[in-house]
Chains A and B, each alone.
Chain A
Amino acid sequence: MAAQASSTAQKSRAGRRAQPAPIRLAHWINIPLLVVMAGTGLQIFAAYPSLGPRGALYSWYPFQNVAPPSWIRLGGWLAGARHWHFAIAWFLIVNGLIYLVYMIASGEWRRRIFIPTRDASSALAMFAYYVRIRKTPPPEDFYNGLQRLAYTSAILFGVVVVLSGLAIYKPVQLYWITAAFGGYDVARVVHLSCLVLLALFTAMHLVLVALHPRTIIAMVTGGHRG
């Protein structure tokens, strides 16, 4: 089943590199954009470093009124950070849309997106291998299940961070997005949670890329033609 799915994917992308140019471009462009969005976002958060509406802060959040350290912030002050955040957001959205359209149109999604029926067992086996329960990694074609799970999660966090951002940017004009998240202050929690999840993803990604440096070369040159 897995072999069949992968062979169809192989056929539809005959002659294409491991990392096609649009994916490489979107990947590298994304990095400075995400850095600016995260840094300015934390500067904005510092203006009200609490979660929950006034007078009814969320009791589950342990860091109420703790501002992020200044070295991690960008934009200098609230208005500056807002100008940068709302300017760069457009480029992040456009880059993300180009990436998603290419993924779908080219069929690349087939070998990258986590499909539970195909990838769940491989993901579990790979996890078992990383935590030394299992001695050998599971066989992989292009990506293993855990990679697919990680990369698919990152795309999902990206989509949700944009939607929750719109929800707190225009909670009246785009009230339906805000309502879908359960209101303004919940959407704000989701927005910041996505930042934390994306940061965790990036940390794991950097460790694994450092352990497998050939993947960096593929993401720069494109790697082998398939």
Chain B
Amino acid sequence: MAKLITRRDLLVGIAASTALVGCKNKVATTFLDVMSRWNEHVDRLLFSENRLAPELPASEMTPESAFPSYFISDTMPFAPADWAFKVGGMVARPSVFSLEQLKRMPQTSMRIRHHCVEGWSAVAEWHGVQVREIAKLVGVSSDARYVEFRSFDNDYFSSWDIESSLHPQTILAYGMNGHQLYPDHGAPLRLYSPVKLGYKAVKYLTEVNFLPTRTGGYWENQGYDWYAGV
């Protein structure tokens, strides 16, 4: 069911693209749909769970004030006082974690390049806990193929393939550049990974669900690439 919805949304997005090119016809829509699926296939073939994005020297750091950030709410979203992170879906032990619990888990830190769909890059350090660590703790079913990350930023969300979610550099980040995550970059907890374009890295996290089928995402439903591998 969820898959059908995404597929319709993808077609709507692609139809919008073709309309603006001036070929409002089915042929162009079908062509782009076929090619998008082919590109996702290639993307998945290129992806390797063992290939790490290179760690960069401190000299490559982007001044934090120059590292862009955005949210889709009208005003900066702030976490509710009773904030906690829910983990559910196809898991043996659905759980709720406090920020303190997440911080006590093994920490992963990395200084890596961020790639935005717009074409810019920027470098920052990110500190957090691997999604694969959480997956181990809650006992994810082997039938789970997709992972959906949701936020309190006006329901911004994105869904991922499970392979990219379990990549060793895909983390739930609570720190940036040696300090705690600030609200403009998604406090208290955000998804971060070098293997996807920036819009897949959901900020202001509230929950993650392991699913059998894919759902879309805030930008994905408007026509942006769903896989968005880097």
Name A residues whose Cβ lies closer than 8 Å to a Cβ of B: 44-45, 47-48, 50, 53-56, 74-84, 86-87, 90, 168, 170-175, 184-185, 188
A172 surroundings in chain B (CB, below 8 A) = 51, 53, 115, 194-195, 229-230
A56 pairs with B118, CB closer than 8 A: no
Contact of B62 with A54 in the complex, beta carbons under 8 Å? yes
Q: A55-B62, A184-B121 are in contact. Are A79 and B35 (CB under 8 A)?
A: no
Residues in A neighbouring B63, C-beta threshold 8 A: 55
11 contacts between A and B (CB under 8 A): A48-B120, A53-B120, A54-B66, A56-B62, A76-B20, A79-B13, A79-B225, A80-B16, A80-B21, A172-B53, A172-B115
Contacts of B68 on A, CB cut-off 8 Å? 54
Q: Which residues of B contact A184 (CB under 8 A)?
A: 113, 115, 121
* B-chain residues with CB within 8 Å of residue A81 when the two chains form the complex: 17
Distance of A76 Cα from B17 Cα, bound (Å): 7
Known: A79-B13, A80-B20, A84-B17. A170 touches B223 (CB 8 A): no
Asked whether, in the complex, the Cβ of B18 is within 8 Å of the Cβ of A80, the reply is yes
Cβ-defined contact, B47 with A173, below 8 A: yes
Q: Are A171 and B115 in contact (CB under 8 A)?
A: yes
CB distance from B139 to the nearest CB of A (A): 29
Q: Is the CB of B224 within 8 A of A79?
A: yes
| Interfacial residues of chain B within 50-65, with CB under 8 A of chain A in the complex | 51, 53-54, 62-63, 65
Residues of A within 8 A of B20 (CB): 75-77, 80
Shortest B68–chain A CB gap in Å is 6
List the B side residues contacting A76 at CB < 8 Å: 16-17, 19-21
List chain B residues, Cβ under 8 A from A171.
113, 115, 230
Contacts of A75 in B (CB 8 A): 17, 20-21
Inside 8 A of B39's CB, which chain A residues have their CB? 86-87
Q: Known: A75-B17, A79-B17, A87-B39. Is A55-B122 also a contact (CB below 8 A)?
A: yes
Which chain B residues border A83 with CB–CB below 8 Å? 14, 17, 32, 35-36, 223, 225
**Distance to closest chain A CB from B228 (angstroms):** 10
CB contact under 8 A between A188 and B119, given known A83-B35, A86-B39: yes
Q: Tell yes or no: B123 within 8 A of A by CB.
A: yes
With A83-B223, A175-B54 known, 14 other A-B pairs at CB within 8 A are A48-B116, A48-B118, A53-B121, A53-B122, A54-B66, A54-B120, A80-B18, A87-B31, A87-B36, A171-B113, A172-B53, A172-B195, A174-B46, A184-B115
Task: Answer yes or no: B72 CB below 8 A from chain A CBs.
Answer: no
Shortest C-beta distance, B206 to chain A (Å), equals: 26
Report if B117 contacts A (CB, 8 A). yes
Q: Which residues of A contact B119 (CB under 8 A)?
A: 44-45, 47-48, 168, 188
Top 4 A-B pairs, shortest CB-CB distance: A76-B20, A80-B17, A55-B66, A87-B35
Q: Which residue of A lies closest to B230 (CB)?
A: A172
B121 near A82 with CB under 8 A, answer: no
User: Which single residue of chain B is at the shortest CB-CB distance from A74?
Assistant: B21
Which residues on the A side are within 8 Å of B73 (C-beta)? none
CB distance from A166 to the nearest CB of B (A): 10
Residue in A55, A84, A87, A175 whose CB lies within 8 Å of B53: A175
